[in-house]
Amino acid sequence: MLAPFNAEHVILESLTENLLLSEYFFGFSIVRAITTIEKPESLGYIMAEVAEVKSCCDTDEVTTITMDFNWSDREVWGKSAYNTMWCLIGCSIGDLGTIAAFQFVFTDSGWSTMNIMMLAMFNGIMTSIILETIILSKQMILKEAFKVAIGMSLISMIGMEAAMNIVDYLLTGGAMLTWWVIPIMLFAGFITPWPYNYWRLKKYGKACH
């Protein structure tokens, strides 16, 4: 005997199958669409300094900051000039003092001009470090002040020392001090590392002194 035909049951099963098939194909389409997304090609590189800044809520958002370097910042020129001046004072004490010692005291030392100038440059760097240590010792303990002074830019001090001694040699013919050559030496020693000190302060926030 045949079971009675239940139209409501047949319609319900048909709708259920259609929903399952729709869910399957729809879900498959989404997965396929997601898995077939291709990464766009690189658009090139932008020459800029990038800094990552986290929000106060410590999220993963990254803010890109472009810092353009320029040579027209008057405030930085002023600060770098001040730093260069202190570097010049420190270097000049040892440099000019050494030349004066061989010129007026150790006149028969037998040292060559090159040896005297090399010693003058070395002593100039040393007195610059000592002066900076004394200045920083007012802000921190002596040991830390010495470490900071040692970490100052040697490039700036070496450039300064080289400029002063080259000018002295070209104008006097040797390691010699006169009343008129000293101002020229000091000017050369100041102007030579000044742009470098500006660049270092502007780009990295670091000063030689």
3-state SS of 33-96?
Answer: HHHCCCCCCCCCCCCCCCCCCCCCCCCCCCCCCCCCCCCCCHHHHHHHHHHHHHHHHHHHHHHH
Q: Where are the domains of the chain?
A: 74-204
pLDDT digits (tens, 9 = 90+) for 160-187: 999 999 999 999 999 999 999 999 999 9
Q: What is the CA radius of gyration of the chain?
A: 37
According to the model, what pLDDT value does residue 13 have?
58
According to the model, what pLDDT value does residue 52 have?
42
3-state SS of 87-128?
Answer: HHHHHHHHHHHHHHHHHHCCCCCCCCHHHHHHHHHHHHHHHH
According to the model, what pLDDT value does residue 29 have?
42
Distance of CA 162 to the CA centre of its chain: 24
According to the model, what pLDDT value does residue 100 have?
97
Instruction: Supply 54's token pair.
Output: 């986290």
According to the model, what pLDDT value does residue 6 have?
53
Give 10-residue mean pLDDT values along the chain (209 residues). 50 50 45 41 40 41 56 94 93 97 94 96 95 88 86 87 97 95 98 94 74
pTM listed for this prediction: 0.65
